[in-house]
Amino acid sequence: MALARTYSVALVGVTGHVVEVEADIANGLVGMILVGLPDTALREARDRIRSAILNSGEAWPQRRITVGLSPASLPKRGSWFDLAIAIGVLVADKAVPADAVDGVMFFGELGLDGRLRPVRGVLPAVNAAAREGFRTVLVAAPNAAEAALVPHVTVIAASSLTAAADWLRGTPGLHHNVTPAVVFDRDKDQPPAPGPVPGGPDLAEVLGQAMARKGLEICAAGGHHLSLLGPPGAGKTMLAERLPTILPPLATADALDVTSIHSVAGTLPDGGALVTSPPFLAPHHTASRAAIVGGGTGTIRPGAASLAHRGVLFLDEAPEFARDTLDALRQPLESGQITLARSGITARFPARFTLVLAANPCPCAKTAGPSGGCTCSPATRRRYLARLSGPLLDRVDVKIELLPLGRKELLNDKGYAEPSHTVATRVAAARDRAATRLSGTPWQLNAEVPGAELRRSWPPAPGALAIVERALERGQITARGLTKIIRVGWTIADLDGKPRPGRDECDSALGLWLGVTR
């Protein structure tokens, strides 16, 4: 009897779990058995691995092969266990030295000809391997740059099973017709991070909407959610598209989280560079609930809300989205993560994004007034906007109504519209003040601080909430709305460089929450 052990990782959401792959070769009926909750794609690996080994010039053991994936209670999905299983079979057959696989993690799908193909989710998998003490990973060459994003891990890039086996035997380059496996040099071979696109969107292009630009700056500084209501052509989409231009680059930890989510989704750009810019997602209003919050029956994939983590999720024509799709966002807006429960498995995806809702005031979307042509009745307008549920709007911190623009407004605002880099400087300074205040806590932005902690540790100035409390007594705002108003008040104070929000900041925050900013 011959027994070998190799290691790989099973992903549940963006969380990796180390899997021990045991290959046992014994006398008995010739065949290969996989145990340990493999899915259909993994069960098909038996024939795929056999063909890959034979077509790589290796011998296939003509005995009974049992492959166990441990822990057996964890579901194993996908084809990226191929390489770990194939190497385990070769080690058990004494074709590869057993000590060569010690401390090495394997990821990769095998083709029938032995080629090593890239897989999704390598970054979170390598992260999990590093946490468990593995310092060497062997991956397909196209995945090497992504795997090298994890520090203190040696990445071996191989193009085929033959190249991987030769490297483990200590004879790289033995086969002249095979590209040898190489140690990926992170400093030398890592592709440069993409820089800003010349001529990209700029906030100075949005003219005549000074209050909306100010609201955008507040949302960027504090991580608050935004609702824009106005007729077509007022600048709602332009504002939303320019919100990422005033956000600071992602911190290293956030960049790794965002890149991990995009890796699992398979949306990383070629080369696997680290995502350092806040993502911007704008799904169409016909998108399903699974497309927005994530899901899937087999492998659970992240949706737009998770892909927008630490960035912006823009829902244009928000009333046209399905009601249940919009309401599915209520939980991640509060918790900052999405939990998807399936039979036997629960996946969690980070989803702390800035939500921007844009809506027309009525179904016809025509300008109101004698020459506008809008004939919608007040009841029709109410029914249309009622598609955005009260509980969802209660979670939106800043609500701004945009007015139609005339020639005078456009010309007068040319000298006052600031470029994105100027606003971004103020946003970065406000975030630095918030970060200093929140140092030593698990929160980064004002919008993340729980209400109880906010009132206990960082209350506004005495008397600052007088008008806000009267609005609460009259039923104009909810208890959740009170918390959000205090958060926005802190952000306004941070932008103004004040030590704490006073009455002016809290009154301004109340007006932004109610949507009465004119």
Radius of gyration of the chain (CA): 28
Model confidence pLDDT, tens digit, residues 114-131: 999 999 999 999 999 999
Six-digit token string for 12: 């549940």
Hey, what CATH class is 2-189 in?
Answer: alpha beta
- Superfamily for the 203-444 domain: P-loop containing nucleotide triphosphate hydrolases (3.40.50.300)
Residue 182 CA to residue 89 CA, distance in Å, equals 23
pLDDT given at position 197 = 59
Alpha helical stretches, state H, 415-478:
420-437, 451-457, 466-473
Model confidence pLDDT, tens digit, residues 448-487: 999 899 989 999 999 999 999 999 999 999 999 999 999 9
Q: Are strands 109-110 and 104-106 parallel, antiparallel or unpaired?
A: unpaired
pLDDT given at position 97 = 95
Q: Are strands 154-158 and 182-184 parallel, antiparallel or unpaired?
A: antiparallel
Q: What is the mean pLDDT of each run of 10 residues along the chain (518 residues)?
A: 90 92 93 88 88 95 94 86 96 95 95 94 94 95 92 94 95 83 76 61 87 95 96 90 95 93 88 87 94 82 95 96 94 92 84 96 73 78 90 94 76 78 96 95 94 91 93 92 95 96 95 80
DSSP helix/strand/coil, 241: helix
pLDDT given at position 175 = 81
Residue 340 CA to residue 342 CA, distance in Å, equals 7
pLDDT given at position 518 = 47
Cβ–Cβ under 8 Å, residues 70 and 22: yes
Count of beta carbons in the 10 Å neighbourhood of residue 407 = 8
DSSP helix/strand/coil, 238: helix
Domain ranges of the chain: 2-189, 203-444, 449-518
